[in-house]
């Protein structure tokens, strides 16, 4: 995810030539049945998880066996991915009941942010994670906020952990799209150390998803509640 580039740094009127760490940005041209459906911005690696997650979150597949064929062709700064899906099935969903101590939310967010290895070196990534309410079950860094969630979805589908997911944590702004993906993932809450948008709040209320922003220090804001999730 990191490459070195030569830069010229100005510091207190002095010039200095040095090597700097930069996060890599790539594109996947995703073809479904030979038709281009999306160009996904992401940071390598985990291309398989990315594509599985994208197809799941956009409703093209419901489980890993729905994806019958996937082929990657590397072209340098971009990759062509050819996917074929068949026999798309529907997921059966059941309502969960869950309670979590507020102090645990801070512990899990702190743990997630500690995994931001590339961000600490480059300042150029987002990180998101899925939790079962006790521990992180998956987490990914990426140059794209959406692609962190694509990779999370793909990873938990491939490892059969998706049904364990209770909370989606993210380091960045909570958008309407993030809430749409949370609904598709079946999680009960979306939690960020940053702010939600008004559309995200409206959608979370409609979808019965708890929305928490500005989880930092010793405080957080609840913008939307979930009737089946209690914070104690």
- The region, left, alpha or beta by phi > 0 then psi within -120 to 50, assigned to residue 123 is left
The predicted model gives 71-80 an average pLDDT of 94
Token look-up 């940005």 returns 25
pLDDT of residue 94: 58
Parts of the chain belonging to CATH 3.10.20.10 = 26-85
pLDDT of residue 182: 98
pLDDT digit string (tens) for 192-212?
999 999 999 999 999 999 999
Largest distance between two CA atoms of the chain: 64
Parts of the chain belonging to CATH 3.40.140.10 = 98-231
Q: Kindly indicate the confidence band of residue 56, based on its pLDDT and cuts at 50, 70 and 90.
A: very high
The predicted model gives 62-89 an average pLDDT of 91
This prediction's pTM: 0.94
Topology (CATH) of 26-85: Ubiquitin-like (UB roll) (3.10.20)
The predicted model gives 223-232 an average pLDDT of 96
Query: Hey, which CATH number is domain 98-231, 3.40.140.10, 1.10.3470.10, 3.40.50.11720, 3.40.1190.20?
Result: 3.40.140.10
Tokens of 3: 């490459």
């Amino acid at each position: 995810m990191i490459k070195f580039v030569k830069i010229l740094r100005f510091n207190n009127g002095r010039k200095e030539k040095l090597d700097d760490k930069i996060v890599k940005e790539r594109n996947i041209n995703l073809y479904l049945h030979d038709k281009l459906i999306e160009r996904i911005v992401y940071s390598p690696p985990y291309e398989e998880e990315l594509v599985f997650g994208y197809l799941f979150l956009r409703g093209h597949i419901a489980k890993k066996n729905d994806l019958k064929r996937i082929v990657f062709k590397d072209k340098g700064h971009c990759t062509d991915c050819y996917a074929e899906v068949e026999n798309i099935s529907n997921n059966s969903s059941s309502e969960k009941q869950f309670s979590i101590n507020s102090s645990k939310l801070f512990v899990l967010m702190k743990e997630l942010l500690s995994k931001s290895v590339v961000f600490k070196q480059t300042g150029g990534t987002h990180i998101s994670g899925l939790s079962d309410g006790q521990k992180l079950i998956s987490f990914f860094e990426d140059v794209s906020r959406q692609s962190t969630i694509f990779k999370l979805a793909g990873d938990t589908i491939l490892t059969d952990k998706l049904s364990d997911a209770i909370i989606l944590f993210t380091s960045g702004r909570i958008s309407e799209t993030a809430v749409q993906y949370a609904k598709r993932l079946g999680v009960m809450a979306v939690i960020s150390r940053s702010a939600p948008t008004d559309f995200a709040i409206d959608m979370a209320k409609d979808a019965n998803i708890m929305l928490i922003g500005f989880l930092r220090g010793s405080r957080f804001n609840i913008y939307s509640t979930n009737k089946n999730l209690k914070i104690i």
